[in-house]
Amino acid sequence: MTYERSLAVSTRIQELYRQVSMDDHTFLTVTQGIHEITVIAETQIAQEFRTALQNAPKVYDENNLVGVTAKFKVGNLEIPNLIHQLTRCLAYEDINVIEIVSTATELTFIIDKKDLEVTLRQLQKDI
């Protein structure tokens, strides 16, 4: 979900973020850009955000997405073009990457659920 950035929306998202129960498998990321704030979360958490922000100006919202995460060693941060290579292998199959979320050792592609099988096949082939 992407919302227009405002102090009210930012404050509400921060409150919700603090309330989310984080277990070992919880996926939640909040990205605050200059004009927008994006929340990517598993279904149950996403619904909590949607409900709490139902009156906020929304830019984009989609339910039928999945995340595919590639996990790396820290040393892979020094490999030039690694993200490009992975993205390119998805582009060869016309997979639309909606978002890319990363940490130092994880790279998650947010894609349409219908592209999951092909995405897994392509990433396993190229990693």
For residues 100-117, give the mean pLDDT. Answer: 95
* Residue in 56, 54, 55, 82 with CA at minimum distance from that of residue 70: 82
The model's pTM: 0.88
Confidence of residue 120 (pLDDT cuts 50, 70, 90): very high
- Alpha carbon 95 to its chain's center: 15
In order of start, what are the domains of the chain with their CATH numbers?
2-60 (3.30.70), 65-126 (3.30.2130.10)
Under 8 Å CB-to-CB from 100, ≥6 apart: which residues? 83, 87, 107, 108, 109, 110
Rounded to the nearest 5°, which phi and psi values hold at 32? -105, 115
* Residue in 112, 3, 14, 126 with CA at minimum distance from that of residue 56: 3
**What residues form DSSP beta bridges with 112?**
65
Give 63-77 pLDDT, tens digit per residue.
999 999 999 899 888
